[in-house]
Amino acid sequence: MKQFNYTITDALGIHARPAGMLAKAAKTYADTEITVTCNGKTAKATQLMKIMSLGVKQGSVVTVVAEGPSEEAAIAAMDDFFTSNL
């Protein structure tokens, strides 16, 4: 299991556009489960609407976890995704 914490800087939080892009990015690692946790609620990165419903705002801290055969590559991709988009 690999994980990291990230503080959201995007003014709108995890809104539709990055959530969509996140789901797309996460789907490329079909064998690895990627989850996002915020305010005690967890959703899989591929669950677009559920991710949006976490209500992640600017300043929120999220925990991203990857678990599975490609977790190494997946967590690196997620780290990159969050830093450049959120």
Does residue 64 contact residue 82 with C-beta atoms inside 8 Å?
yes
Pick the stretch among 11-19, 30-38, 63-71, 76-84 that binds other proteins (CB under 8 A): 11-19
Identified catalytic residue from 3, 4, 10, 15: 15
What is the 8-class DSSP label of residue 60? -
Residue number with CB closer to other proteins (24 or 72): 24
Is 83 exposed, middle or buried (CB count within 10 Å of its CB: 0-12, 13-18, 19+)?
A: exposed
CB of 1 to other proteins, least distance (A): 22
Task: Say whether 19 is catalytic.
Answer: no
